[in-house]
Amino acid sequence: MPVRRRRSTALAAAVATAAALGATVLVTAGATTATAAEVPLKDYELTWGVKQSYRNYVGMFGTFTTSGGATQAAGNGAFTFVDGTGTYDTTGHTVDLAFKGGLVSKSAAHGFEITLTDVRFDSKAAAITADVKKVDTSAGAPKTTEGDDVPLATVAVTREMKDMATTLTAEAGEYLGSASYAGAAGDPLTVVQKTPPTTPPASPSPSRTQTQEPSPSASQTTTEEPGTGSPDPSPTKTADTGPSPSASATEAATRGEIADGTLGWGVKQTFRAYVTGPIAKGRVTVSGGATQAAGNGAFTFKDATGTYDTDADRLTASFKGAVNFKGHETNGTYGLDLTLSNLKATLDGGSGKLSADVDSLGTGSKGVVLADLKAKSGDLTAEKNVITVDGVAATLTAAGAKAFGDFYPAGTSLDAVDLSVALSDDAQLPDGGTAGTSGGSGGTGGSAGSAGGGTGGTGGTASTVGGTGTTTGGGSLASTGSDIPGPALGAAAGVAVAIGAGAVYATRRRRAQP
């Protein structure tokens, strides 16, 4: 029979844990809920990633699936639960909110499926709770454990309720599959009210221009006097600092040649984490002017050339720079050696392609269409002679799947693409540079004999992650599919390792715990 934990026990544990950690700073001394004036709240969102290492672990061989309006940020990012409703205690200045949406983390390789629903945030208890169902098949017959309002983390609550520090509980460790999570730092928590869209009135009234929506209070006479650390449930309103109506002295034409630009793309975060992780024990190296963000982050390719047409919403841009993924070294021979260079992005009405020259273990292919692109909007608008298109969704194509050894299936979500192109020589790109200028990246390229180790000479313009220089052992993981990469997991000198079988399968079987 399933094991079920009862609501009262879980809530008591949450409060007890919060008190033990000194996290109940929000409770006003002497305040009681019996006499508190409660104000209804709605339209709140809760964003929390649980713990990055947990997402890494699940994403390596499993998947995250959201439902009921919940979402996950790109690149195996944090989770957002929506439609939060609850109450605000004007006496104790605390909030109690329940959110819609579900999250399932599943790994067939490790035999678990964990479902979170009814996520709640109680600032008085300084706790995050959820209903949890765990199905464990690692020992053969399924074993199901369920709990209502399971305390997952205590929260260091702040007035703004943004980026609040969290600490995982023993219950979180039990359900997530590792006792080491108990007392460990979780991901930061943010709880905000989703600001409703502002619709200009049909007949503008001078006396009500840019009126701020009132704070959720019981009556107009209620005034909040929160102390330090008290949450503020009212929506945060920032001043409108839109673009200045004055155009630059050298306004670019609606179509013509691109002067410069950058492309930001991480390929796939699970891939980066795998290459530099304990299995491939490799490194990631950029060259030719490309750069990589710290912590095994995304790549930036520079020196764009191409054409644009803002009237037709078309853009074609090619970028300089290359990135090399190398791992599985045996006696100086690498089983994984993949280089992407000469990236090219096209957009037409919001849809397009991302292509690159691909070299895997010495076999090269020109102009391989790696991904289908889909922008959030089809409009290409230049501001101060710069076109910026961020967060472009990238989906692996069939040709791209072959470039990755058919291990990632076509349709897999890749990291999002950020594009920024300058239309004139004096245009200022978002990174602070002007068109026509670019900076190379420096670093040392060591050998990939071990993750974070190795020796080697100066690597010229290359910078390395995982070798001598900036070192990383992981990184965020994407949420789609099993993510051991496919490019020649067999050695280049005829030593074959079957993809998805053999040593890879044995490695999966050994990774029974996070």
Question: In the chain, how long is the greatest CA-to-CA distance?
Answer: 80
Q: Which residue has the higher pLDDT, 121 or 452?
A: 121
Q: Report d(CA 398, CA 371) in Å as an integer.
A: 9
Residues 389 and 272 both lie in one domain? yes
Residues 378 and 471 both lie in one domain? yes
Q: Report d(CA 54, CA 405) in Å as an integer.
A: 27
**Inside any domain, residue 386:** yes
Q: Report d(CA 498, CA 486) in Å as an integer.
A: 10
Tell me phi and psi for residue 266, to 5 degrees: -100, 10
Question: Do 201 and 208 touch, CB atoms closer than 8 A?
Answer: yes
Angstrom CA distances, 272 to 28, 277, 325, 399, stand at 47, 8, 8, 20
Model confidence at 393, pLDDT cuts 50, 70, 90, reads very high
Residues 29 and 168 both lie in one domain? yes
Residues 177 and 259 both lie in one domain? no
**Inside any domain, residue 203:** no
For the record, the structure tokens of 136 come out as 């464990």
Element (H or E) spanning 93, and its range?
Answer: none
Is the pTM value of this prediction over 0.75? no
Last residue of a domain, one of 158, 193, 228: 193
Residues 186 and 261 both lie in one domain? no
Q: Of all residues in the chain, what percent carry a pLDDT higher than 70?
A: 65
Residues 165 and 310 both lie in one domain? no
pLDDT in tens, 359-384: 988 899 999 999 999 999 999 989 98
| pLDDT value of residue 230 | 62
Q: Which residue has the higher pLDDT, 231 or 36?
A: 231
Model confidence at 59, pLDDT cuts 50, 70, 90, reads confident
pLDDT at 143 over 60: yes
Q: Report d(CA 53, CA 26) in Å as an integer.
A: 29
Q: Which residue has the higher pLDDT, 220 or 259?
A: 259
Model confidence at 407, pLDDT cuts 50, 70, 90, reads low
pLDDT in tens, 487-511: 333 333 232 332 333 333 333 333 3
Last residue of a domain, one of 149, 167, 193: 193
pLDDT in tens, 288-321: 999 999 999 999 999 999 999 999 999 999 999 9
Nearest to 360 by CA among 492, 498, 449: 492
Question: Do 95 and 89 touch, CB atoms closer than 8 A?
Answer: yes
**Inside any domain, residue 217:** no
Q: Report d(CA 488, CA 463) in Å as an integer.
A: 23
Residues 135 and 48 both lie in one domain? yes
Number of domains observed in the structure of the chain: 2
| pLDDT value of residue 514 | 37
Q: Of all residues in the chain, what percent carry a pLDDT higher than 90?
A: 46
| pLDDT value of residue 18 | 40
Q: Report d(CA 322, CA 329) in Å as an integer.
A: 21
User: In which domain, by residue range, is 350 found?
Assistant: 255-475+483-510
Residues 186 and 316 both lie in one domain? no
Element (H or E) spanning 56, and its range?
Answer: helix 52-61
| pLDDT value of residue 456 | 34
Residues 180 and 269 both lie in one domain? no
Three-state DSSP class for residue 506: helix
Mean pLDDT of the chain: 74
Residues 435 and 318 both lie in one domain? yes
Residues 181 and 286 both lie in one domain? no
pLDDT at 201 over 60: no
- Radius of gyration for the chain, computed over Cα atoms and rounded to the nearest angstrom: 26
- Quick one: angle between helices 52-61 and 269-276, nearest 10? 90
**Inside any domain, residue 141:** yes
**Inside any domain, residue 112:** yes
Q: Which residue has the higher pLDDT, 241 or 320?
A: 320
| pLDDT value of residue 196 | 56
Three-state DSSP class for residue 317: strand
Last residue of a domain, one of 142, 159, 193: 193
**Inside any domain, residue 229:** no
pLDDT at 203 over 70: no
Residues 286 and 178 both lie in one domain? no
**Inside any domain, residue 202:** no
**Inside any domain, residue 249:** no
pLDDT in tens, 156-200: 999 889 999 999 999 998 888 888 888 999 999 999 998 655 444
